[in-house]
Structure 1
């Protein structure tokens, strides 16, 4: 799990369980230390590593694997303990696996402290172990230059440039533009500052700021980070007043699209936040990094500090709302945060979309959600536009949704697989039901046939395993009403032959489409098969209701996990509620089904909205048993149980 990142599983619980069984288990301590170090918690990492090193060295000072000791050196260096880090690196270098890495880190500390001859000796050993270590070669050039050994510096530089002509640090040392990319120039400046080349680092940062003016579209912004790194270098260079002025400038720079991603970014932001209690920008950016690193509670604290200092930070407000749902499970706090974000940035499509998803999570009515979306500005994002289309359809405005779909080209987005196609299907299905209710069967046929042949402008096609039982049932009904019984029988047969479905990127034994397959079987007079399938659906419902919901280990597309994390038990119970409504209809208990479909839990359910519309427009005709209008509905003895059965949601 550490090696191959997983969408829903993490290695930490396994390491913690191993430590519960053996508190000194070194692999688990090292694994947890790596995670803590990467998450910007060096103190926690140090504690884990000191325990691991204590176990490894209790019988012999030099264990076979010195990885833990090397990592302890990194952590001590991060904490400002250079002498302790140097000792750890020296001990770690006993193992050949860590010899080059540890030796290079010792050389950096030597160079930073002005011990250039000692640094060169270390670097020579690194190059014997790993001849193509480009950072060691670059630092060798720097140390030779400091000792005015220009011929030796030029020789090493030429050899290094031959190994990799594109290496940015080596290009900088050769007097060339290190890169045309501000992010890479920042990387070079960090390397230079780390070995004590403060003036060169400042020059590199100035070049990066010039490149930021020509940043390609879609690349993260870096200008505020450049200022914070410049303040850090100025402090290292003994210029505290200039460092304070640069931190003040950083607070005025536009932070749009600025996402810190390096440990070094987090370090300079922490330094700025500690130096200036009023620096909202540093706290906000550090919150972004900290949340991405998995420290949600700490990130929330930072964002709340940021908006207390700067209430106009829409991104921080948005992130507070997101974390309030996913970390604190506080929907009221999330609503308040999103309202503040939208007030600061009215018309921002992403904020409107996310606030609407939060409204759905809290049970807001589709009408209120649609009013909020339509009053929020242009629907210029596809996910926002498609959500608005679904709400239009639910609110009886399918014709308006079809007009929008007819003139807009949509594009697939991660987590939105099938949503545009679903809106197309729903709009035409609603149109067909309305046409049948108004005695316009030819229009109903046209609607369903259009649904079955989605245009390329939707940006996606129907999956071969996806069920179309609902559409083919409607097509058969429309054709029968239009006086074409043979074609109607073919359409019903197509619906009746379908089993299972493909939803949320996986195949399912039963789904919401099974209901329509049962009706198609009844249309064709196959009542025994319909009863058998109904019983199978009921058994599936009971098994599903009793299972603890789990995300499949091999799931690769998880749209429900991309934004707000909802209690999987609530998701399960909501689906069970809808299946109960379908089973009640199949058993002829229409009033009970209608009561279930009106439950608040199903307010945001598109399946429930579609079934309510179908029942409202067609009534008993929807459930008729065969082509002659027989009202037989294939009631099963088990369906005669009290209505309370449909309201029971067992929690294991």
Structure 2
């Protein structure tokens, strides 16, 4: 685990890290955290079906520092497969994949928090229902996608609101024919990033376990910079400045090649397919 974390911090290629884990299959099978690292690598490589199969094959148990991690990889592979189905004009298949995120399977070892924001899931459900010609249901989900916190914050813990949810609020307002409210959401992301990117960041307290069991201490100022670059990229993308958005996301991925949020956005909205480090 320690060597894999070192490779991860050094930004080693996904396939190199996967090869390391594959050299020790018995050890990886014994440990939930290593097994999940392998699943995460398949998601990063765009092999979502394989990630989905591996997730379904194991009974995970809760561990300190692992809260929200298994369910996150489950959500990522389900959502990305749903997007693929939408592009292939298979809305019913996409809907089934999205509905499977409503309740986590028991084998993930954790349930869904009642406070979990699902703006992205609701947004894509809205698109699917529109493709199916069920406009009233589409509007219901687009309105659901506009709900929740409308001010971004640094998401250090698994139960913190994620900044990309505000991006999907803006997209949903566009689908509902309200570009003014959409622009407000996108602009608040830009303003937040500009305001906090150079400010020192520290954790005053925590009420749940820290999100990573890292051997090496994290530089919180670097994490804050990545967060601010990411939210500004989302804001500029929403406002139609694709070139500037791409520049911010590229900076995010240079600082953190394992940033799954920027990878998904670049692939889905900017047509960037060469994301494998």
Shorter-chain TM-score: which interval? Answer: 0.7 to 0.9
- C-alpha separation in 1, matches of 2:104 and 2:272: 25
Report whether the alignment pairs 1:479 with 2:134: no
- Asked whether the 8 Å contact 1:366–1:603 carries over to 2, the reply is no
- C-alpha separation in 2, matches of 1:443 and 1:479: 12
1:618/1:428 CA distance change after superposition, 3 Å: farther
Q: Give how far 1:506 is off.
A: 5.5
Corresponding position of 2:196: 544
Give the TM-score normalised by structure 1. 0.39
1:605/1:537 CA distance change after superposition, 3 Å: same
- 1:146-188 deviations in whole A, cap 9, x for unaligned? xxxxxxxxxxxxxxxxxxxxxxxxxxxxxxxxxxxxxxxxxxx
Q: Give how far 1:543 is off.
A: 2.8
Alignment of 1:384-463 (within 5 A): 384-463=34-113
Q: Give how far 1:503 is off.
A: 5.7
Match of 1:584 among 236, 240, 245: 236
- Asked whether the 8 Å contact 1:433–1:617 carries over to 2, the reply is no
- Asked whether the 8 Å contact 1:393–1:430 carries over to 2, the reply is no
- C-alpha separation in 1, matches of 2:226 and 2:108: 29
Q: Give how far 1:617 is off.
A: 6.2
Alignment of 1:230-245 (within 5 A): none
Report whether the alignment pairs 1:568 with 2:220: yes
Report whether the alignment pairs 1:553 with 2:205: yes
Match of 1:465 among 115, 122, 129: 115
Corresponding position of 1:355: 3
Q: Give how far 1:449 is off.
A: 0.7
1:448/1:551 CA distance change after superposition, 3 Å: same
Alignment of 1:108-119 (within 5 A): none
Corresponding position of 1:504: 157
Q: Give how far 1:371 is off.
A: 3.0
Corresponding position of 1:607: 261
- C-alpha separation in 1, matches of 2:16 and 2:215: 21
- C-alpha separation in 1, matches of 2:168 and 2:117: 10
- C-alpha separation in 1, matches of 2:168 and 2:216: 31
1:503/1:482 CA distance change after superposition, 3 Å: farther
**Structure 1 unaligned spans of 5+:** 1-352, 620-652
1:393/1:597 CA distance change after superposition, 3 Å: same
1:503/1:618 CA distance change after superposition, 3 Å: same
Answer 1 or 2: which has greater helix percent.
1
Corresponding position of 1:178: none
- C-alpha separation in 1, matches of 2:16 and 2:248: 21
Corresponding position of 1:374: 22
- 1:346-380 deviations in whole A, cap 9, x for unaligned? xxxxxxx3322222211223333223323432422
**Structure 2 unaligned spans of 5+:** none
Corresponding position of 1:153: none
Corresponding position of 1:519: 171
Give the TM-score normalised by structure 2. 0.87
- Asked whether the 8 Å contact 1:412–1:460 carries over to 2, the reply is yes
- Asked whether the 8 Å contact 2:186–2:234 carries over to 1, the reply is no
Corresponding position of 1:310: none
- 1:289-326 deviations in whole A, cap 9, x for unaligned? xxxxxxxxxxxxxxxxxxxxxxxxxxxxxxxxxxxxxx
1:457/1:556 CA distance change after superposition, 3 Å: closer
- Asked whether the 8 Å contact 1:515–1:582 carries over to 2, the reply is yes
1:584/1:532 CA distance change after superposition, 3 Å: closer
RMSD of Structure 2 on Structure 1 (CA): 2.3
- Asked whether the 8 Å contact 1:390–1:423 carries over to 2, the reply is yes
- 1:176-217 deviations in whole A, cap 9, x for unaligned? xxxxxxxxxxxxxxxxxxxxxxxxxxxxxxxxxxxxxxxxxx
- 1:391-422 deviations in whole A, cap 9, x for unaligned? 11121111111111122111111111100110
Q: Say which structure, 1 or 2, has more relative contact order (CA 8 Å, 6+ apart).
A: 2
- C-alpha separation in 1, matches of 2:170 and 2:196: 19
- C-alpha separation in 1, matches of 2:124 and 2:59: 27
- Asked whether the 8 Å contact 1:365–1:604 carries over to 2, the reply is no
